[in-house]
Structure 1
Amino acid sequence: MIPLNLQSALRNRIEEVLSGTRLSSQEGVNKEIQVFAQHIPRKAKSASRNTEETSYPCVIVYLDEGEDGLVKVLFVVAVHDASSNNQGYRDVLNIIDKIYIDLKRSPQVEETFELNSESLKWFYNDQDNYPYYFGWIETTFEVPSILRDDLEGLI
């Protein structure tokens, strides 16, 4: 399916763009930003009380909707920052900025998909979800259209 190919290519690209960027996590250490397709993976329940590794910070490449020749993709950014200065929004906006700049500079993905630059918008979720902070980028990509099988017979 074409949208899944786009999602996979974008996931790989965002991993590359954010490679080496480390942010605070629930475990109290700085760690690499994880990139997921569609959803954060579910963690298995642990019988012990040890803190499991969490998925934050992360970016989710989310297929939102599509129509002939277009696919709407959201890049959901989620971070955890338990510091009392309430500055986790800065990490969200820095991640958004890196992705936004990369998409503007190189709007073509794998020579198959093209970003519709007019659709590129970012948002920040200003609700108080402390210690979690969220934002997202909304995009629309032009994708190959499916051609009718009987078209040649109509000519």
Structure 2
Amino acid sequence: MTALELQEDLANEVSEIVKDVQTKNWQGKLVSGVTTFRQKLPELVADEDNPSQFFPYAIIRLEDGETADDNDPWTVATSVLFGIYDADVNNTGYKSVMEMVQRTIDHFTATPLLNKKFRAKQEISWALQEADPNTYPYSFGAVEIKFEVPKMPRKDDYA
């Protein structure tokens, strides 16, 4: 099992966790769930492309990995970044983001095993963007989760 498999499984799981959270897209249409991306948003390729087209989204990022010794699994740090578009002048977008964040936390706290392969460690952290009038009409939040990822055993040429 690899970190890339973890990323793919996590993207699928996050999509399922937030599939019925309703927000509006940049065209004002009510939508459910998010589009998931790996590592970052796609590049805009034409001048007329609108970055708002990607909202609402979740970016599933692999941050880093470490292992203590031959017998321990990898500990892989991941970030789930949520972004939504909410043009409501009452600044309610953070509530939708917080709902996505909370659902993700609650899910991996209650059921830490991801796809019967990866175990979420309970040192989960989250954050919402600071209040910034320059980001209106966008709201952002993130969840950081570390997972145990099995690794290949070391080969012993002398055994």
* Interval of TM-score (by shorter of Structure 1 and Structure 2): 0.7 to 0.9
Indicate the percent of aligned positions where both proteins have the same amino acid.
Answer: 26
> In structure 2, the residue corresponding to 1:92 is in which secondary structure?
helix
1:132 is the counterpart of 2:138: yes
Deviation at 1:25, TM superposition (A): 1.5
Superimposed CA distance per residue, residues 97-136 of structure 1 (whole angstroms, 9 cap, x where no aligned partner): 111111111100122111111x211111114111111110
Which residue type is aligned with residue 12 of structure 1?
Answer: N
> In structure 1, the residue corresponding to 2:53 is in which secondary structure?
coil
Q: What TM-score do you get using the length of structure 2 for normalisation? A: 0.85
Counterparts in 2 of 1:83 and 1:53: CA distance versus 1, 3 Å: closer
Q: Where do 1:106-125 residues align within 5 Å?
A: 106-117=111-122, 119-125=123-129
Instruction: Please identify runs of 4+ aligned residues in structure 1 that moved more than 2 A.
Output: none
Deviation at 1:152, TM superposition (A): 5.6
Q: 1:95 aligns with which of 100, 116, 132?
A: 100
Aligned-residue CA RMSD in angstroms?
2.0
Q: Where do 1:1-155 residues align within 5 Å?
A: 2-32=2-32, 33-45=34-46, 54-68=53-67, 69-117=74-122, 119-128=123-132, 129-149=135-155, 151=156, 153=158, 155=159
Counterparts in 2 of 1:107 and 1:23: CA distance versus 1, 3 Å: same
Which residue type is aligned with residue 83 of structure 1?
Answer: D
> In structure 2, the residue corresponding to 1:54 is in which secondary structure?
helix
Superimposed CA distance per residue, residues 43-62 of structure 1 (whole angstroms, 9 cap, x where no aligned partner): 44266x9x687111111111
Whole-Å Cα distance in 1 between the matches of residues 152 and 131 of structure 2? 41
- Give the number of equivalent residue pairs: 150
Where do 5+ consecutive residues of structure 1 fail to align?
Answer: none
